[in-house]
Structures are given as C-alpha cells and as structure tokens.
Amino acid sequence: MAALGETHTVRAIDLPASGRSSRRSSFELDRVPDEIIATMDRLGIERASIVGHSMGGLIAGRLAADHPDRVDRLVLVDAAFVSLDPRWWRHGPGRLRVPRWAEASLLVLTSEEVVRVGPRRLAQVIRQLIRVDWGDALPRIEAPTLVVWGEHDGLCPPGVGRRIVERVPGSRLVMIPGSGHNPMWERPAEFNRVVAEFLAG
C-alpha cells in the first residue's frame, strides 16, 4: 500500500469474516462483489483499478466481469479460480507447505487471522471458495488485466494463472521468481515494480 500510495489513492477493504470486519458479519461469496461496489458508492468512487489476491483475486475477477464500467485496470494475484485446474483436488491443500522464503511476520499475521476468524467461520469460507466456479465470467472482463503469480505457489498452482490468461481477453501473465502464494509479501520490490508499471501504463 505504501508503494502504490506514492502515485495513487489506495483503499483496502476488509471483506466479511476478515480483517477488522465484525465477527457477526455473514460471508456469502456470491454477494461480495456487489458489496464492494456498494462500498465504492459510499466512498464516492466511480471507477478504480482493482487489485485482488487469492480469494480477493477471485472476487475481483467476478466484480470486473459484472461491473465493467467501474473497473479501470485489474490485477489478479495468485487468484483462487481453483475450478480452472481439474487436478487441484489432488495437489491443492496437500501441497500447501510453508516455503523457505516465507517471512516469519507473514506466518504470524496468518496465524492471528485464523485465530480471529475462528475455525468454524474459516471452514465456511473455504467451503464456498472451493465450490464456486466463476471461470465462465473471465471472458466478460473488459479492463486491461495483469495476472501476477508466484512461481512456487503450491496452493494455487501457476497453471491456474495460465488458464486465466487464456480466458481474459488481452491479459498477460507475470511470474514472480522465488515466491509462493504471497508474492507481495515474499518479493515486495519486484511485485511493487510490476504492478506500479502496469497501473501507470
């Protein structure tokens, strides 16, 4: 946020059941893209460039497909379109390992989030995430789209990123070397550079 904030006004949204959102807030994945649009309306944001990571990337892709007039540019980071990989059930959760390059601060943050959300709510979110199939929405995306992927992502393999690019017209894929599922945290300098160049292009 600090890097992009040098040239852009940046807003981070806590999705239901994450961040500082209410513990009582319900999470219905199908409704989240429209809830983000409602948040943009409340903030007076007519159009914005949208950056989404993992589940946030899945949501950002659907938002851009459903509301093309609201999205200037789109950045999908290791986006969880897991339905695009028919082998995901075999190697997805089973390949989730702590990579040697993951910083301790990221592991602490992730652990705190899991504790805050609680195992029951987290299970509900994951269940919705792995059941949804929004791949058919990708061809409807009109915004210039950058797909960013960690080359060693064991949760959402790079093949998912390649299939996204095959479906989103005019999109391109950038692999971040030496990173896993969280390139913005594991290789921040390279990540910030490619995203900033794309947003300014």
Per-residue pLDDT in tens (0 to 9) along the chain, 201 residues: 999 999 999 999 888 767 777 666 677 889 999 999 999 999 999 999 999 999 999 999 999 999 999 999 999 999 999 888 766 655 555 444 445 545 555 555 565 666 666 666 767 777 777 778 899 999 999 999 999 999 998 888 999 999 999 999 999 999 999 999 999 999 999 999 999 999 998
> Looking at domain 4-200, which CATH architecture does it have?
3-Layer(aba) Sandwich (3.40)
pLDDT of 49 reads: 98
pLDDT of 142 reads: 98
pLDDT of 124 reads: 72
pLDDT of 91 reads: 54
pTM equals: 0.86
> Hey, CA dihedral for 122, 13, 74, 197, is it positive or negative?
negative
d(CA 95, CA 19): 26
- DSSP for 74-94? EEEES---GGG-TTHHHHTGG
pLDDT of 117 reads: 65
Domain ranges of the chain: 4-200
Give, for 165, the enclosing helix (H) or strand (E). helix 158-167
CB 102 within 8 A of CB 82: no
pLDDT of 103 reads: 55
- Which ranges in 11-134 belong to alpha helices (H)? 32-43, 55-66, 88-91, 104-117, 119-131
